[in-house]
Structure 1
Amino acid sequence: MAKAVNNMGMSIVEPQERMRFLSNHGNIIEVDANVPVTRYYRSGTEMLRMANVYLTEGNHENAFILYMKYMTLFIEKIRSHPEYPKIKAEVKVINKRIKEEIMPTTEKLRAKLLERYQKEYEQFLANKEAEKARELERERQRRATAGGSSSGGSGAHIPTNLHVQIDPSMQPSAPDLGLLDKVVYPSDFPTGTNRAGSGLLLPGDADKEGAKSISKPPSFDRNQKPHYERSDSLLAGSLRTVIIPENTMDVFLQLAQSNTLKNIETCGILAGHLAQNRLFITHIIIPKQQGTPDSCNTMNEEEIFDVQDQQNLITLGWIHTHPSQTAFLSSVDLHTHCSYQMMMPEAIAIVCAPKYKTTGFFILTPDYGLDYIAQCRQTGFHPHPNEPRLYMESQHIQLDAQRKIQVVDLRR
């Protein structure tokens, strides 16, 4: 596979290779046996909601990846979950949806993306030929300048107006760098490409090396985006921005005030929607719950799901109080948040500490804490190592004073 780097440091590959890269992204999803199988089915519902938004907005790469993830999860990976035999009815419904809706939509997306990539590839080749012609002309002029005054002979005439007309409308559209890991076009410098990996590939992925041959994602520069190392992130190398209404914390503290006065924690679910590749928290859902001075447990989860289904909301994290302590994540909080962040890499944990008038916006460290907590089998309050860090302040959030949070209080 020919491979090079353009003047922005981006690796470049051919159209079929770009499609294999997208398919590979969609194939990378893992199932943790310790996460209830119902969480994966909720995650699948929200995956489709986001995919449909991307499709409507014309962000076809992101839509393609999410549809592929959905199929990979429910055709292949979910079977490894120990609770899989208990959900046969749901599997039947999902398989029917995949066959009748998701797979045809994904194939149409594949064809549309391939067509676009082919046009960009052809334009790239045309630009490259034009640049070669310009370089030849510059070299001819350099030689003429160097030897023209001393040479009295005559030679073959080389035209000085070499120029290739390029249609401006055909200029390559820059793909989403976070999504494609800076994969754009092919190049001149042949190097061997190792293709490894396996997973669900739709028709059209097969090549000379076999249907399961997948290119390795090239390296890329993360300096301009929030870091996120896990390979199952939607946008490898970055987290989407989460927009939070600025009044969210004040509204929640008012809802929690009666519990706070009794030194009891209160918790709520942060939900919202996707638009223009940003995640907007729009609702706090307060479930029925039982709290203590240092813990809070939700009840009747199906009521939360009903609200989200009715209002087409996706889960974006959770919020809770520390009535008499500072803003931090306890060992129990770390395990609670792990399940949110595994389903949604951008999910945040907001901790309000009214006694100290502080608020923390936290995520598990993607390069260490998330995997560490996912593999920890201890329950209740228990010690964790302080180094490396297990959690950190969120860097991908943005407070918005113009937006107002909405509340659904299921306790009433």
Structure 2
Amino acid sequence: MTSLHTEPAARVRALVEKAGTCDVDGEIPFRRYYRSGLEMERMANCYFTDGDLEHALILYSRFITLFVERLPKYPLYVHATQDEKSRIKTKLRNTAFPRAEKIKMTLQQRYQKEHEEWVTEQDKKAAIEFEKRKNEEEAARLLQLDEERRQLEQRKAERPLEKECLQDYHLAEEKQDAEELQRVEKGKEMRHEGDEVSIEPLAWRLQRQCDMNNLPTIPFYTSVAGGGSYPVIESPSVDSSVSSLNATGVITEGLAGMSLYSNNTCWSSATAATASPVLGSESFLPAETAGSMTSMLEQPTIDRSTKPIEAEYSPVQQPQVDRSSKPVTPAEVTRLSSITDVGDCDSSTTIDGFRPVIVSEKLMDDFLRAALSNTLKNIETCGILCGKLSRRVFYITHVLVPKQTGTPDSCTTLNEEELFDYQDKYDLITLGWIHTHPSQTSFMSSVDLHTHCSYQLMLEEAIAIVCAPKHEQTGIFSLTRPFGLKYIAACREPGFHPHPKEPPLYEKAVHVTVTSSASSVLCDLR
């Protein structure tokens, strides 16, 4: 596809620069360049007439480069006749230069129009993309708002349940406070009952609580008449009225604010911090456990920090949209400019990279009849395939049989001027060649490959037709690209010589179509 973003002037320049890629080989006779130049100019005329201005400009520019810049510096240019030089100058002055300039102006105008249309199309695409992304952002914003609205409705629906849970929590808390108050009052009643309550059941429960909470063992003491104290050796039996103070077995809750007494010697939670285990003391608790027991006997506190609070609601915030990747406006679309690939100028359908070549079915039959006398003598016969270019399709319309000499495996043309004059008269393009193998099969010998190379270097669609009447075979071939064409062009071996078989140097010409509907003319110049 043509690079429409390229500036029009750059596209024209690229075509002209491609035309400049032609080198001159000092070993090739000037006359071959001369004939090739005439073929080039004739082919350019066909392109011009057919409206293929890109290829026409390339060939006209190459013709100018070859005969104005390259060949005059060529050592063998001195062998050119005055008639040949005059003919070339006439074609340069009357055809190549004026048509090349006209084509440049026409192409620049066409490219400018194509470029403007491309820019307009890109602006439309950018505008569509801008609007698309804008709509996507708006849809995302609305979707986020809907999600936040749904979450808000869900929180409102859950609010009654939260209030109910809060009420249950308050009721449970009040019930717990009431139970604690009841235990405290019961403890006060027990304190006023005198010496009927023994310290031993309480001490036993304290010892069990220490064991459960991994606290140090409490060495309990009891008072005796006349002062002093003695340790309790055996754990007394548990009094059922005292042991029921705490249904969970945790004694600390039931002893808050209580005074423990026995034999007129009392111990309370207020004096626990200063108690000492020294014998004769008024306390029965040692100092190392006084702090722990104090915390066990103090009034329990309830942590209100985890109390449920009323749900707080904030207004819906505007969603944050990232504008860093905001699409550019249509006016900001970047218009790149680079040198176009000159191969893009050919947008027609090709077959394996070649333009189609149409061959008449009767062409081979007519040529075999013209070569029959030589075939019977086991002598090769050759002819030149000529034709026209129409709508980027080559039509082989003529077979020219020049004067020639031949052998069983070769043939050489003579008096080529007659051949060239005929082509000039009917404005025919050289499209290849045809020859016979009187006694061999249809294939391309090393000599055939070198002969065909000059045709295909001039026109890559050029073909070689090999007729083998003895074996009733007809093959239509071309050199492989790029290997076969480059290899044969670089080979300097004369006569018959071996060539590598892999990779193949030639192949069946797949771009050729043989049809009975096409017509052809055979012109025998012998």
TM-score, with normalisation over the residues of structure 2? Answer: 0.60
> Is the 8 Å Cα contact of residues 264 and 291 (structure 1) preserved in structure 2?
yes
> Is the 8 Å Cα contact of residues 332 and 380 (structure 1) preserved in structure 2?
yes
> Is the 8 Å Cα contact of residues 35 and 339 (structure 1) preserved in structure 2?
no
Q: Deviations over 1:120-163 (max 9, x none)?
A: 111111111111111121122222222236279999xxxxxxxx
Gaps of 5+ in 1: 1-7, 156-163, 165-186, 194-214, 228-237
The answer to which structure, 1 or 2, has the higher relative contact order (CA under 8 A, 6+ apart) is: 1
Q: Is 1:255 aligned to 2:370, yes or no?
A: yes
User: Once the two structures are aligned, what percentage of the paired residues are identical?
Assistant: 47
Q: Is 1:379 aligned to 2:494, yes or no?
A: yes
Q: Is 1:74 aligned to 2:63, yes or no?
A: no
Greater CA deviation, 74-83 or 126-135?
A: 74-83
Pick aligned residue for 1:128 from 106, 122, 141: 122
Aligned residues: 342
Residue in structure 2 matched with residue 397 of structure 1 by the alignment: 512
Q: Describe how 1:214-363 pairs up with structure 2 within 5 A.
A: 215=339, 217=341, 225-227=350-352, 238-363=353-478
Q: Is 1:114 aligned to 2:113, yes or no?
A: no
Q: CA RMSD in A?
A: 3.0
Distance in 2, Cα, partners of 1:125 & 1:216 = 16
Distance in 2, Cα, partners of 1:146 & 1:9 = 39
Distance in 2, Cα, partners of 1:240 & 1:35 = 28
Distance in 2, Cα, partners of 1:80 & 1:344 = 25
2:476 aligned partner, one-letter code: F
Assess, with a 3 A threshold, how the Cα gap between structure 1 residues 49 and 406 changes in structure 2: closer, same or farther: same
Assess, with a 3 A threshold, how the Cα gap between structure 1 residues 291 and 88 changes in structure 2: closer, same or farther: closer
Q: Deviations over 1:292-337 (max 9, x none)?
A: 1111111111121122122211111111111111111111111111
Shift of 1:95: 3.1
Distance in 2, Cα, partners of 1:40 & 1:277 = 25
> In structure 2, the residue corresponding to 1:135 is in which secondary structure?
helix
Distance in 1, Cα, partners of 2:386 & 2:46 = 16
Assess, with a 3 A threshold, how the Cα gap between structure 1 residues 190 and 64 changes in structure 2: closer, same or farther: closer
> Is the 8 Å Cα contact of residues 40 and 343 (structure 1) preserved in structure 2?
no
Distance in 1, Cα, partners of 2:403 & 2:336 = 61
Shift of 1:351: 0.3
Q: Is 1:37 aligned to 2:30, yes or no?
A: yes
1:256 aligned partner, one-letter code: A
Greater C-alpha Rg: 2
Assess, with a 3 A threshold, how the Cα gap between structure 1 residues 112 and 10 changes in structure 2: closer, same or farther: closer
Distance in 2, Cα, partners of 1:15 & 1:410 = 48
> Is the 8 Å Cα contact of residues 75 and 95 (structure 1) preserved in structure 2?
no
Greater CA deviation, 294-303 or 97-106?
A: 97-106
Larger proportion of helix: 2
Assess, with a 3 A threshold, how the Cα gap between structure 1 residues 251 and 101 changes in structure 2: closer, same or farther: closer
Greater CA deviation, 43-52 or 20-29?
A: 43-52
Q: Deviations over 1:262-296 (max 9, x none)?
A: 22111111111111122111111111221211111
Shift of 1:363: 1.3
Shift of 1:368: 1.7
Shift of 1:110: 0.8
Q: Deviations over 1:236-256 (max 9, x none)?
A: xx3222111111111111111
Residue in structure 1 matched with residue 40 of structure 2 by the alignment: 47
Q: Deviations over 1:29-86 (max 9, x none)?
A: 2223333322222222222222222222322212211111110111122235432111
Distance in 2, Cα, partners of 1:60 & 1:374 = 29
> In structure 1, the residue corresponding to 2:470 is in which secondary structure?
coil
Residue in structure 2 matched with residue 143 of structure 1 by the alignment: 137
Gaps of 5+ in 2: 147-315, 320-329
Shift of 1:392: 1.5
